[in-house]
């Protein structure tokens, strides 16, 4: 996968451009993104080895699989709709022929004939509308399914990124390092990441109303998927902050 393809993949997953470096930087250089040195870097690399990794090739294959499935299902739905419409048209022709045949046998008068033709056309119209409605519903359901599958793929990237930030935050909490300015800068990067997550502003505002402090960077281990934050019962779930109080 070339750099342009990797960038396109990350964009599709919803990763911000300023976070691309966390995916494209070599493992041994990752500690430097947070200003880690010495024991901090060593601890980071040791713990990073136990983290679930992000595989861009698998993500790309998964997206391609979703698109292929979408194309196949769209084609199937189109065929079903066309088959249904053809059936309605055949039924309309057959119904009109039956009415005409009955007329030839002396069935009813002019008004009754017109009503019979109208009934046949009305039934065909309703049947055709039903076929189209079901086709539209099937396409809508397919769109939801495809959206959910794409979101699940994108979540893999955010899971990796969240894990990386939590790992870094945990290391800062245990060992802020000897370089105060570098430690502050590293903490700022982690704070910026979590502040950028969907719903964070609303969560912090709710905490402010309740006189609860904004979580510190060293609390980051509790601020990711499925875990309660240090600041008032919020969890990061399904891509957004939610009140779990």
236 lies in some domain: no
* β-strand partners of 242: 235
Structure tokens that stand for 127 in this block:
């049947």
State how many domains the chain has. Answer: 1
Q: 81 with 131: CB under 8 angstroms? A: yes
Reading phi first (left if > 0) and then psi (alpha if -120 to 50, else beta), residue 14 is in left
Nearest 10 degrees: CA dihedral of 115, 117, 119, 120? 170
179 lies in some domain: yes
148 lies in some domain: yes
Over residues 112-160, the pLDDT tens digits come to 767 777 877 888 888 888 889 999 999 999 999 999 999 889 888 888 8
Over residues 151-172, the pLDDT tens digits come to 889 888 888 888 888 788 777 6
Is the pTM value of this prediction over 0.75? no
225 lies in some domain: no
169 lies in some domain: yes
244 lies in some domain: no
Range of the domain at 164: 3-196
* β-strand partners of 243: 234
pLDDT of residue 127: 86
Residue 233 has pLDDT above 60, yes or no: no
Task: Pick 73 or 95 by higher pLDDT.
Answer: 73
């Amino acid at each position: 996968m070339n750099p342009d393809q990797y960038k396109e993949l990350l964009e599709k997953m919803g990763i911000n451009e300023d976070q691309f470096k966390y995916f494209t930087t070599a493992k041994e250089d990752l500690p430097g993104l947070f200003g880690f040195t010495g024991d901090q870097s060593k601890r980071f690399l040791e713990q990073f080895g136990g983290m679930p990794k992000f595989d861009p090739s698998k993500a790309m294959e998964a997206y391609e699989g979703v698109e292929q499935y979408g194309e196949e299902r769209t084609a199937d739905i189109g065929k079903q709709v066309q088959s249904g419409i053809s059936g309605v048209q055949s039924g309309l022709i057959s119904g009109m022929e039956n009415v005409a045949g009955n007329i030839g046998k002396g069935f009813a008068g002019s008004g009754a004939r017109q009503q019979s033709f109208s009934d046949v056309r009305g039934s065909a119209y309703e049947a055709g509308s039903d076929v189209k409605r079901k086709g539209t519903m099937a396409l809508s359901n397919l769109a939801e399914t495809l959206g959910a599958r794409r979101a699940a793929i994108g979540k893999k990237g955010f899971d990796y990124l969240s894990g990386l930030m939590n790992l870094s935050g945990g290391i800062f909490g245990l060992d802020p390092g000897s370089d105060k300015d570098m430690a502050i800068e590293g903490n700022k990067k982690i704070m910026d990441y979590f502040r950028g997550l969907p719903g964070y502003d609303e969560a912090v505002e709710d905490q402010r109303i309740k006189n609860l402090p904004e979580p510190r960077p060293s609390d980051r281990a509790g601020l990711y998927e499925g875990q309660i934050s240090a600041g008032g019962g919020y969890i990061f779930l399904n891509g957004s902050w939610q009140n779990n109080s």
